[in-house]
Amino acid sequence: SSAACQLGFYKSAPGDQLCAKCPLHSHSESRAARVCRCDSSFYRAVQDPPSAACTRPPSAPVNLISSVNGTSVTLEWGPPLDKGGRADIVYNVVCRRCAGDAGQCEACGSGIRFVPQQMSLVQGALTVTNLLAHTNYSFWVEAVNGVSDLSLESRRAAVANITTNQAAPSQVVVVRQESTGQNSVTLLWQEPDQPNGIILEYEIKYYEKDKEMQSYSTLKSKGTTATISGLKPATRYIFQVRARTSAGCGRFSQTVEVETGKPVSLRYDTMTIVWICLTLITGLVALLVVLICKKRHCGYSKAFQDSDEEKMHYQNGQVKFPESKFYVDPHTYEDPCQAVHEFTREIEASRIKIEKVIGSGESGEVCYGRLKLPGKREIPVAIKALKAGYTEKQRRDFLSEASIMAQFDHPNVIHLEGVVTRSKLVMIVTEYMENGSLDTFLRKHDGQFTIIQLVGMLRGIGAGMRYLSDLGYVHRDLAARNILVNSNLVCKVSDFGLSRILEDDPDAAYTTTGGKIPIRWTAPEAIAYRKFSSASDVWSYGIVMWEVLAYGERPYWNMTNRDVINSVEEGYRLPAPMGCPTALHQLMLDCWQKDRSERPRFSQIVGILDKLIRNPDNLKCTATVNRFTQTPFDRGLLDLASCLTVEDWLDSIRLGHYRDNFAMAGYSSLGMVMRMNIEDVRSLGITMMGHQKKILSSIQAMRSQL
């Protein structure tokens, strides 16, 4: 008979085979053991053979980061430091809804959506949508492996506690026709089931049936009823209603079709017609006399005439109804103070407490401070102040910017709190945006956001520009440096004083008319002929899209302004940034159509981005560089010949802080780097998905150059 195995050894079956030492974290309890039992707190999965080491559940994931955007949250985390000796790590996310400060929490329920899924996640990231507004949530992210179910201990998890922001209202569900006339329709509707805040107004969209793509009109109403007048008789119209809160607009209701009344035929005898004609002629003559008198004696200023002409142009050309709001250019006022007093709120200087300077220029400073208005809580604000010794032109431009800003009210446009003009220090007070300008913010957090987060930022900028465009306002200087970001990653369009801001802008160039234009962001027709329009703003928006996807990269890199102008005129366009989805680069190219009539409107851009957010699978296909778009901008791409070392290469893609990771793992040449795959990159301890993607995209680009 064969000899029995000693303690610490085992033999799985009787016979002459040699005794084997017990696997790691296991022991034999007696001589002649046929299997080694696992040590305390260690386990062997059902599918593991007796020769396999005993393992244990993993520790909690690390570096859990949450990012709230309205009623959705994006979670990202790194792998556990202790994987328990196993490689089959997956992640589960548990959602709890918590009430108030008492800490009572309950399961979130079935209405919440987890993207890509809630359980058995392989990657360390997911997005949770359909959360309730203004609600506390607790998310527990636990790592599990093949023996987690065998352990009696409670699972260890990383926890993120968040509070959702205000959400847009839900859809207006019930809309019905109350009355119909020959030229008007009265509608009645119910408040949304989930207003998610105070409803500021309702927007009614209407158009002739089957003619939505040709033109449509909108009307605003403070209540749940509205009469739409000025309609054609005997015509079928389509109506939709949506609600708006400070968080934005909800979805439009289902369409309601209404036909206006038929015209009533009237018959008059000859004398009646004669009297009507005489009355009209007399009225016209009287009106003409009054107008001549006013022109000669009443002394209306040229500024007011221009302003009235401009408003009438917009009313006749775009919208038919007096309820619609339009931007009024303060430069049409002879005295800018008049525009300031008409549009803005004067704040007493004693209500403002300046705490620190956060920016400075040649003619002014930007400060952080606190504002306390009577009957309201104290709020953080940004304060723009003119420096002592300012010129009258600088003061006029400064106040004009406030007059422009005061006319806007949209969650994606910077909000003006008021102005201080009755003290020696002239100030503009706006809401405070914690994360500053978008370009600097993106460069600081290079590669740290998911594509859905970036698209969400672009959607916010597009919504703000749609609002400004609908008011008839042309920005002229739309760029990432002029977008501000708050603590919830909400982007807001800002900087409405083009002439003042461009004084010290190195990206500006003189044109033949003496003004300055930010060449890299400006449409060709605006550079050549100074034809600024919403379509030229759309071109600039395409450049902003590129900046966002490139994490604040300088458009056209180190090309001169003259080279940019010539190249764009020849048909060259910026290539897709690394990892940019095809759908987003195509939208950029649409914004850069040479014929401005071919560019999409901001309303269409927002619609496209909304569809991409609802269908994130369409963002998985990444763009390939088209040689037509790449030349002559390939100077901005990786030049393999200029990268002699791994350190040079990492510096060229702005990831030089990973030098030690590569060096300690033995990657001493670019040839070794080019053989790396995703698992190799992760093994270096690079957990940020954006950085992983950037490294792999660059490796792919190097391979293509060989």
Query: By the 8 A CB rule, do 487 and 432 touch?
Result: no
Q: Rounded to whole angstroms, how far apart are CA atoms 545 and 497?
A: 22
**In this structure, which amino acid lies at residue 412?**
N
How many other CB atoms are there within 10 angstroms of residue 479's CB atom? 23
Output the known binding site.
384
Query: By the 8 A CB rule, do 148 and 176 touch?
Result: no
Longest dimension (CA), the chain: 137
Q: Rounded to whole angstroms, how far apart are CA atoms 68 and 133?
A: 11
Query: By the 8 A CB rule, do 199 and 170 touch?
Result: no
Output the known binding site for ATP.
384
In whole angstroms, what separates CA 437 from the centre of its chain?
A: 13
Q: Name the DSSP letter for residue 295.
A: I
Q: Rounded to whole angstroms, how far apart are CA atoms 185 and 199?
A: 23
Burial class (CB in 10 A: 0-12, 13-18, 19+), 477: buried
First and final C-alpha spacing in the chain: 66
Query: By the 8 A CB rule, do 584 and 455 touch?
Result: yes
Please tell me the total number of residues recorded for the chain in this structure.
Answer: 706
Locus of tokens 């699978």: 617
Burial class (CB in 10 A: 0-12, 13-18, 19+), 488: middle
Q: Name the DSSP letter for residue 687.
A: -
Q: Rounded to whole angstroms, how far apart are CA atoms 640 and 705?
A: 7
Q: Rounded to whole angstroms, how far apart are CA atoms 573 and 566?
A: 11
CA-CA distances (angstroms) from residue 515 to 30, 303, 498, 510? 93, 22, 10, 6
Find the Cα–Cα–Cα–Cα dihedral 596, 601, 604, 609, rounded to 10°. 80
Q: Rounded to whole angstroms, how far apart are CA atoms 319 and 461?
A: 24
**In this structure, which amino acid lies at residue 119?**
M
Partner residues linked to 203 by β-bridges? 220, 242
Q: Is 41 left (phi over 0), alpha (psi -120 to 50) or beta?
A: left
Locus of tokens 């019905």: 176
Q: Rounded to whole angstroms, how far apart are CA atoms 496 and 215?
A: 29
CA-CA distances (angstroms) from residue 516 to 354, 504, 673? 33, 10, 46
Half-sphere exposure of 684 (CA within 13 A, CB side): 23
Residue (of 333, 304, 472, 474) closest to 396 by Cα position:
333
Cis peptide before 632 (omega within 30 of 0): yes
Q: Helix (H, G, I), strand (E, B), or coil: what is residue 99?
A: strand
Would you name the residues annotated as active-site residues? 477
